[in-house]
A and B are shown apart, each in its own frame.
Chain A
């Protein structure tokens, strides 16, 4: 078994009277792709914010690579549904944003931004402002900005949620390619069951009131995943199982 990169030990969070997240224990293996699926209010974003260090948990500990990082920041890559590109910077300068926010941007940073952009089809747009890009391209730039932070763990919170279905499928395949190329560990939040199954090695199902993990199983679908994966018998079977977990009924 590969060593676990991230360990959550009994991490819980209460907002007022609402239990946003019951004490939860999850361990994520290095290099794996874990999808967290659940309806809104199931605590998946709270879970992310605790891992990222934006929210202090009421209980438990976050351990990354053996080091306790509870309530500190600067140890993960992070991306939301909103691309959060700054309009006053070019694509290249948006990609190097994390460096600019923590130290002086070097020529090596810029060279890496150019290399990544060229490798993933945005080489011609380095000097464009984000306003000139389509939604899918903007999300790709946002992802590159996350990638060049060199954090081993990437937290992606519904990154493709605002895209149309065709672009989303394109982006999912693109993400799998980048994941294969770079060997990062990905924790991916979604409420889309298809998306969670299409991308991941492992599916964590959460449910609301109180936010908690109700199932955690290996996704046995073969890689590489293609359009055919979406109509595979195993896919349908897994999907049915997750749907029952989310919406009740016999499983």
Chain B
């Protein structure tokens, strides 16, 4: 009886190729355009105001400074990526765990929350010296600094997400006779996906900054940050700008990877019909 009419199926079940193409153009094309405009602005300022090359190079020179020294820069870049990734994963895991524990044990929440806020009030750069004393000049102090920065927004968002899960939904699970751990895994955790990714995205934008701070304060040998310092003391301005661009690219790439993970993990936010592998064959 009363089969649903096509109009009832509402939004987007027939999203065509044309619409998908436009979406890609909007989501990729416009951000790319803004980067091109930024480079053009840089070029324009340098040319119009006759900025001396030792103050600011042209974009092309900065990029060349990177590509021509790629064999030196690539291992350093890999090092920074490694610190960023290790630190991010550690921080995200710690942040998620803390968020869950604090949401589930209110006493711990009141006990731990002030400490967490305090941890973020400590200037990161002041943290580096004791970390080197404890952990030496290895990759460890950088990982700790990145994790230190990343865990906080993750914890705050997960905690917030878990405390805002619809109580009626949790009651419904209880009426069904669900044990608490199943309700947690099947309802509370998935309901927290969006806030979790908000925290991860904030963490991702700061992760590379953390790694570079770590390299500046806790490097004895070669690192991207020290390479830039050397270039600076040699008045190699193009290399200074180029290295900055390289660091920025690492940061943006990592952020985009996290955004990609979110898109992959939350298909229901963009699609009206599940991908075939998501649900068992009807």
Q: Is B a genuine binding partner of A? A: yes
- Where the two chains meet, the residues of A that have a C-beta atom closer than 8 Å to any C-beta of B are 52-54, 73-76, 78, 80, 82, 84, 86-90, 92-93, 97-98, 100-102, 107, 110, 114, 120-122, 124-129, 131-134, 136-137, 149, 170, 173-174, 177
- B271 contacts A98, CB within 8 Å? no
- The chain A residue sitting closest to B193, CB to CB, is A88
Q: Can you list 28 contacts pairing A with B, beta carbon distance less than 8 Å?
A: A54-B174, A54-B175, A73-B176, A78-B172, A80-B172, A84-B166, A86-B190, A88-B190, A90-B278, A90-B279, A101-B173, A101-B176, A101-B183, A101-B186, A102-B182, A107-B280, A114-B282, A124-B4, A127-B273, A128-B9, A128-B274, A129-B271, A132-B11, A133-B9, A134-B8, A137-B9, A170-B2, A173-B2
Cβ-Cβ contact count across A and B, 8 Å cutoff:
121
Is B272 positioned at the interface, with any CB of A under 8 Å from its CB? yes
- A177 contacts B8, CB within 8 Å? no
Partner of B280, one of A53, A86, A100, A110: A110
- A121 contacts B178, CB within 8 Å? no
Partner of B10, one of A87, A90, A133: A133
Contact residues in B for A101 (Cβ distance below 8 Å): 173, 176-178, 182-183, 186-187
Is B69 positioned at the interface, with any CB of A under 8 Å from its CB? no
Contact residues in A for B274 (Cβ distance below 8 Å): 90, 127-129
Which 5 pairs show the lowest CB-CB distances between chains A and B?
A: A74-B177, A132-B272, A101-B178, A121-B3, A78-B175
* Interface 1/0 per residue, B234-273 and A, CB below 8 Å: 0000000000000000000000000000000011110111
- B12 contacts A132, CB within 8 Å? yes
Contact residues in A for B172 (Cβ distance below 8 Å): 78, 80, 84
Using known A-B contacts A84-B172, A128-B13, determine if residue A102 contacts B187 with beta carbons closer than 8 Å.
no
- B178 contacts A102, CB within 8 Å? yes
| Interface core residue of A54, A134, A136 (most chain B CB under 10 Å) | A134
Contact residues in B for A107 (Cβ distance below 8 Å): 280
- A93 contacts B279, CB within 8 Å? yes
Residues 171-209 of B contacting A (Cβ, < 8 Å): 171-179, 182-183, 186-187, 190-191, 193
For chain B, the bracket of interface size reads: 35 or more
CA distance A90 to B166 in the complex (A): 19
- B175 contacts A128, CB within 8 Å? no
- 4 more contacts with CB within 8 A, not counting A82-B168, A128-B273, are A73-B175, A97-B176, A102-B182, A131-B268
Residues 136-173 of B contacting A (Cβ, < 8 Å): 166, 168-169, 171-173
- A73 contacts B177, CB within 8 Å? yes
Is B1 positioned at the interface, with any CB of A under 8 Å from its CB? yes
CA distance A84 to B178 in the complex (A): 15
- B272 contacts A131, CB within 8 Å? yes
CA distance A139 to B272 in the complex (A): 17
Q: Distance (Å) between the CB of A139 and the closest chain B CB?
A: 12
Q: Distance (Å) between the CB of A124 and the closest chain B CB?
A: 8
- B174 contacts A126, CB within 8 Å? no
- B8 contacts A136, CB within 8 Å? yes
Q: Distance (Å) between the CB of A84 and the closest chain B CB?
A: 5
Q: Distance (Å) between the CB of B213 and the closest chain A CB?
A: 37
CA distance A86 to B190 in the complex (A): 9
- B1 contacts A121, CB within 8 Å? yes
Contact residues in A for B168 (Cβ distance below 8 Å): 80, 82, 84
- The chain B residue sitting closest to A51, CB to CB, is B175
* Interface 1/0 per residue, B14-42 and A, CB below 8 Å: 00000000000000000000000000000
Using known A-B contacts A78-B175, A129-B268, determine if residue A134 contacts B4 with beta carbons closer than 8 Å.
yes
Q: Distance (Å) between the CB of B242 and the closest chain A CB?
A: 43
Contact residues in A for B193 (Cβ distance below 8 Å): 88
- B3 contacts A129, CB within 8 Å? no
- The chain A residue sitting closest to B12, CB to CB, is A132
- The chain A residue sitting closest to B282, CB to CB, is A126
Residues 210-241 of B contacting A (Cβ, < 8 Å): none
Q: Distance (Å) between the CB of A64 and the closest chain B CB?
A: 13
Contact residues in B for A90 (Cβ distance below 8 Å): 274, 278-279
Contact residues in B for A174 (Cβ distance below 8 Å): 1-2
Partner of B4, one of A89, A97, A122: A122
Contact residues in A for B11 (Cβ distance below 8 Å): 131-132
Contact residues in B for A54 (Cβ distance below 8 Å): 171, 174-175
CA distance A86 to B172 in the complex (A): 12
- The chain A residue sitting closest to B171, CB to CB, is A54
